[in-house]
Structure 1
Amino acid sequence: MKQNKLKYIFRYIIQDASLRVKMVLIFFMVLILPFCFFTLYATRRISSVIQEQTFLAAGKTFEETFTAVQSRIEKVVNVTELLTYDDMIYKMASTDPQDYPVIYQLEDSNALAISFNQLKQLSGVENIRLYVKNDYLYSNENTRILPLDSAADTNWYKKLWQAPSNRWYTPLDFADQPSREQSFFSCMRVIYDPDTLTTPLAVLRVDLSKSMLEQALNRTAITQNGFMLLLSGDNTVLSSENGAGQNLPEDIGASLSQSAQDTWNTIELDGIPCYTYSATLPPTGWTLVSVVPYTDIYSVGRALRNEMIGIMAAVAGAAYAVALYLSNHMLRRIWQLSETMQKVEDGDVEVRFNSEGKDEIGQLILHFDHMMGRIQQLMEEKIRYGFEIKNLELKALQAQINPHFLYNTLDTINCMAIQKAVPEIAGVATSLATFYKISLSRGKDRIPVRDEVLHAKMYLRIQNARFENRIQTRWDISPEIENLYIIKIVLQPIIENAAIHGIYEREDGTGTITVHGYRKGEDVYIEVADDGIGMPQEKADAVFSSPPGEIAREPGGYGVKNIIDRLKIAYGYEYGLSCKSVPGAGTVVTIHIPAVIEISNE
């Protein structure tokens, strides 16, 4: 009976049913039914892939967070290690204040406080403190160097002396302190007497803000409900992501301690199955733990399966016809926008794409056009500001001429006016006028090498007039570099240093300066050699190899670092000064610049 009924239905569909019914059935058989099987398979496969990717993403997030936290801890360790070997700390901790003038005590404490502040700014640590046992005097504004007695009643101090090998302390160790002191992770080091290696002199404390560690924990979300924990060596929760640890069971530390490290483990927290991953942070002994609930791993797959089944039933009839039109219409503009962005990536920042609609894609295209216009404007402003800043830096550095030379020269003229005849005074006055005429150069920043050499000669003529011709000079300037350009007031300060710090320091106060200028390929070299007292090569290297930006003024004119900064700003970091010196034999300073025929002074 049933078999006959099925035959009747089948024959009805094939022979008697309307064309619309047949098309619906064919669509169902050819499209919907395979689509259903495909959807079921795809959801299972996608769920598996999502789970794998979630574990990979969680693992990567853990590694990034671990690296961020470890980096902050290493900064504290580096600062502590650096200060442990600082001679000033040992000096302050071991010096008897009864044998040390008060003014020196204040100078030492202020110098050490400045050093602490600089390390704090460079490393990002929150505080650096030194607790000393002696009665050193401290400035009222100095809160970095404290008497050890001020911490004698604190828990951390007692704990430190009970276990001096323990160098790391958590906010829990500062529970008896004011609230502002309870927000630090600290590394402490006992400073011992270097003579006995057993007598404690001071305690060095470097603080890391708890908020910095929490910032590292919060930097990237693991999953929707996943979170990070920082546990102490006894598995106490020290810090957590977004305060998640506040709602955890009290025995979470014990539960996590049973899990192996560096692999995913399964535990239950308040009856909720979770995956955990943990690793120890050397050298603190603390443990960083990642907690991911099961639901975050599997809920996405289940939700995706239910959603796809629902969407399949709702949109199957209309999706096929509408999708072609909409996809072609929408993707056409996206493809055009992608091509425009590729042109921008290739360097064409002036390309634009006109929007054809006001929908989201049209708004995206419009905002892209506005963004590119703004970027182009900012690029032009940055280039202009860069040139302005460079010129301002050069003018600011060149404005640091020491006025004492002018005063000394005027004093020489005054003395000669009393002691000698008019020709000598005229000669010195003419040399001084030429010297400052070249110094000003009508506001120009760069002058020919011959003018720079003449400027130096005028300086030496004035100095010899003042100091009775103590300096002999030899000039060997190649004619092929005389018309090349150099930033002004470079040679004279070097000759001034050679005279004041080299020749005048000799017992007889006399000597010879030799200036040799020549061209080598596309570079110009000017060597200034003196037979003065010289200096150790290590000292010369320290002065001439210092980083640019640290402008040091020396007596009698520009600092060497000032000249190095000006040369590197003007010509680039491959140019500048170099020095070779032998104590008792003299010094040779070499100016290295590019061979520039003519350059704009604007």
Structure 2
Amino acid sequence: MKRAIFGLFNRLRFNQKLFLSYLIVIIIPILVLGVYAYNQSKQMLNYQAFQGIDKNVSTISESINNSIERYNHTIRSIVYNKTFQKIVANDYLDLVNLSGDLNNYLSPYFIMMMNLDKEIEKITFYTQSNVPEYGDSVVSYKRVENEPWYSEAVQGSENQWFYDKGLIVTAKFPKFFAERYTSIVYMRINDKSFFKSVTDISQDYGIVIADAQNRIIYANQSAMKTSTLDSREMMKLSEGLVRIGLTEMFLVKKMVPQTNWTLYCFVPAGQVSPNAGTIINATLIVILLCIVSLLVIISIFSKTMIRRIFRLNAMMKRVEMGELNLRVQSSSRDEIGELTNRFGNMLIRLNELIEESFRSKIVQKEAEMKALQWQINPHFLYNTLSFINWKALGSDAHDISYVVTSMSKFYRTALNRGNNIISVRDELENIKSYVEIIQVMGENNFDVVYEIDAAVYEYSTINLILQPLAENAIKHGINQKMSGRGLLQVSARLGKGTVEFAIEDNGPGMPQETIDTILTIQSVGYGLNNVNERLQLRFGAEYGIGIRSRIGHGTVMTVVIPQYMNVS
């Protein structure tokens, strides 16, 4: 491991080593201070968040306590009502008086209370006395003696709150009239209405309320979606930042004073404060800005020490990318200055060699072209062809006149008055004349189709680039067909900044090995490799001839040149 680290360090460049050494010395204290500041900010924010949650939970607990106090007051007003005490103790000499109190006092009183408070769903007296049952208002204790809340209500001394398929509160009647009997009042309250204030206040909090036996009395939607703990596990957790499942949460506990309930509130740590992320992000941004500033200073300082090496390296990269016309020179007399001047002299010599080779190649190609053009004396040739045409017309030999006229057009465009640049229109006329001559000579044994976009006519090209392709397509494609009529297709169109020509035949095609070598071999005449070299010398290596072929389907040869206009 140690050897690998030293090997990696030795492979670094000098400016990288210098930069890395400064970076290690400076960035470590910055990171330590940044982490410390981050942790302090986070602790402060957590404390503030916990205080805010605790305050809200206190408000919720106070709201619940007020509601409980209200119902405790209501149920106390019932158990201390002399008439109700008399009814449950059955302290009547006859049933007429009992019936009068039940019908004229108890029922109207219950109806009034439930009308005044819509949250009260039911009020029932459960008595151990022998008072007759009266609807749902007065019921024998035997109907509920097996209910889990009943024994606790009988044994308790004050108002008791339970959750048994709904929220209920009970209270015992005092034994003023019948010491051997125990009677209780049972009041059922709509839990959704009772906890509505809790739901409104704690929309973003998870709220769970449990009694002394850890039985859940209430849980809001957030708690049911988030919490994976039961009340017993919650009781074991301490207040503060806890982990519930995979989420960090703030847990706050509050007792409800009027009951033995415990209120648990838990909130995801990421949602407790809208400013927490801003403050922490600000701390991280400051740290990042310090690090970036130091990196800039370190970079400037390290580059200043090796500026000349860096500059020489940059110039070498530019030369490597093909920029050979740079002037490299240094007035310094140290080793770096000598290295710079020697590189500059080498670059000058390299440019001279490239220029000499390039000019030699152009002269050679131009000489080959001129030699090809001047193989025939143009003046003599045109006079001769004109005489033949005149004689043919005089003898009504129109086919001979057609061939002579096509040949005259062909050589006029091919020779182009000795100019190497020709319009695209004339280059296309050249290939048309050539194809017409070949068709007459071959007795029209193949068809030809031209698809020319008129927009290409405004551009120029070097001459004699299409005729060799057409000759190759006829000679090696159409003439080699074993059956069927030959077809030659010539097209020209504009591309994205280019002019694109295509010569296609329906011959037998050629294998890939032939395609790979056809542009490199030197043929006897003016072959495709000559055309490709001329195109690339004039327009660049990205232009030239392309070949696609399928055995049995034919060959497509393309020529791509830039959209060039001859301004001379």
TM-score (norm 1): 0.36
TM-score (norm 2): 0.38
